[in-house]
Structure 1
Amino acid sequence: MPEDWGGNTPVVQISALKGKNVNELLEMVMLVAELQELKANPHRNAKGTVIEAGLDKYKGPVATFIVQNGTLKRGDIVVCGEAYGKVRALLDDTGNRADEAGPSMPVQERISAKAGDGKVTLSSLASAVAGGKLSGLDLHQLNIIMKVDVQGSIEAVRQALQVLPQDNVTLKFLLHATGDISTSDVDLAVAINAIILGFNVRAPGSVKSYADGKGIEIRLYKVIYDLIDDVRQAMEGLLVPVEEQVTIGTAEVRATFSRGSGRVAGCMVSSGKVVRDCGIRVMRNGKIIFVGALDSLRRVKEIVKEVSAGLECGIGSEGFDDWEVGDVIEAFETVQKKRTLEEASASVAAALEKVGIEL
């Protein structure tokens, strides 16, 4: 409440336009600060508040900053939320360059500021894994450094990426800021094993060369849908492929023969082909009685690599010799198949359902 109304708050009538009582206001501020013992230590690391941030066409990322404690110097490393960087220049309230800024001094610094918290979690899943209820799940994290043209693009890009299933691969935005990609971004990517995404920004040739030398990938985009597609591919690239058994042929056992201490099957290949060292399933009366490898393949006593449909051959397996006439042999090859995020998500959901967790 103002002093005139019985309170303890001083009031000074001023006009910035006419310059009226500006000095009186400053004197009153100093008096109140002295009476309330409002002090700051200029000899400690700087701490303050960003009141405005943006991307200047000529200066790059800038922030208007009020130093509340300590002294901010050119070249200092500053952190604001999840963003960080080095102060490349300081400008005072008149636009002149300054080497340092003390308490209560407003300055503009060439540095980026934060927008959003970038936090992605799956707490129930993490608890289940930590508790030993789940094991063998294909879980990964894709670390991202994102640079954009304006602050509003940060949330736009992040919201667009939320359409991607993240049950197996979570997206972790470890830095998101405005401005072109720099070597400091590359250094951070090396330290945290991240990819760098740029939306409507540039990566100078020197930065690209620096990134290539460090083994860091920089991806630049103008269209948000291209960014989403590439991030999907990067996420799916982290998933462990699944093994699929693809049938390549079948054969029927027509006779059995002794071979040393074991037996081999005399067969007719009825479809496809059989290949030496391929996998085989032995079927008897519609049931699988053996799964193993085809170790020996002969045709008219000669060792061959494969036999096609309509030809006879001798088949042997070190793990099985209980052949009977009429057995059906299915030959298969094991192939690696990449999984989509949706397929991996379904696998996680099924695993979680077994332990009573809804994803």
Structure 2
Amino acid sequence: MSVQDAMGDSEEEKTRSLASLRRAREKEKQKLHKSLGLDETKKIIREVIIPDVLTVQELSNRMAERSSDVIKTLMKLGVIATINQAIDSDTAELVVAEFGHTPKRVSESDIEIGLVGEDDPEELKMPRPPVVTVMGHVDHGKTSLLDTIRKSSIVSHEAGGITQHIGAYQVVMPSGGRITFIDTPGHAAFSQMRARGANVTDIVVLVVAADDGVMEQTVEAINHAKAAQVPIIVAINKIDKPDARPERVKTELLKYDIVLEDMGGDIMSVEISAKNNINIDKLEEIILLQAELLNLSANPNRLAEGVVIEAKIETGRGAVATVLVQRGTLKVGDFFVAGAEWGKVRALVDYNGQRITEAGPSVPVEVLGFDGPPNPGDAFVVAENESKAKDVVEFRKNQLRNKIVPAQKVTLDKLLSQAKGGKKELTVIIKSDVQGSAEAIASSLNKITENNDEVMVRILHTGIGAINESDITLASTTNAFVVGFNVRANPQAREMSQKLGVEVRYYSIIYNIID
């Protein structure tokens, strides 16, 4: 016999003794609570917020009840649902009542109430710099103009001429005036941002080469600027070339309702050479004069609101977006919402690559701290707190999951059916193999609708060559349909037309189009 056996102190008995001691203490504790009239298991009644749609898991979390109990209660009510399935608000309200909680119904839209502030009274607004987009045909000197303007900026000189391309930047004139330029790659990006409801640009500078004159993309740029309803300033570039004919450019622009001041109109223009820095200062003066006429102002003393210009994911920095602040002041530490993404501003980097602590109206800035990359054109709004930002993003993501609404297809039949009961506008984009055919189709369509009391045809854009992505984007943002005469859409444009729901019709005989 061992000493341990003689003592009767086995490990098993020791464990059992401790367990029984704990049970005895628990019984004593329960007796004491009962004698004092304390009910330890008293149920907490909660106010449970019920949106239009929520999952079983979300409902159990809001009630602080076990999801298995919620599923059992649903089965009693005749509803078979798994933990990740969505249930309607009526069913959720019955479940909440079964558990003894207080239900509070809210509409989906209530979650976003107060996120975007109301319009500011005029007395709180202060002047802000204009936001300018430079557009024009390829090789007409857009990039050269932007480079020359950036080099002339006193801020660039102070920063040693090192600038960082973040999609948008601000220049400071010798007079002290500031201008924000948005560097958008082509017209597609410009109109895509408009398609998402982002009114980013105040002024469009249309660059036209004095030797080439008005080209296909120049016309596209004019149509995009008109659709955005922003003032146009014409910069006639390359005037230092021997074959430069600026007067011809001014005459050609008349065909597209661009009547310059020299021709008796009200659209400002300037003859420049971006390469040799001729009259660049005059262009800047004209931009500031146009901005003065527009009386641009915003309230800087409020939570910031703006728009995402571009977004990307960078190694070591995560999701990064270029944001143009439109009103309010964005600060480091702010919680924000952009589309279906949220975050906290970890750092702000300006157009010179310098870290800053805040950014006011019309200031483009690179924002670090996104949960995921947003889409260009998404509204960027600073939320009151982290909870508000998370709730809004959760609601938006649920909307995307539960209610994926397909793009409404713009068809000729639908547009004609809408015309019943009054004269409606039918918007058309015409692409042809030769310019003569496009003009003939446009004039034929205009003639047959002159005496038509139901439909008025508006030719938004005519061009030659294959139907491209820019045509589809323009059609989508203006509710137009595209007519291709002896031309086809390229593969990217075909894919985009299906995605955006834009109808493209192909013809080889003009009479068929008129019919």
TM-score, normalization: structure 2? 0.22
Higher relative strand content: 1
Higher relative helix content: 2
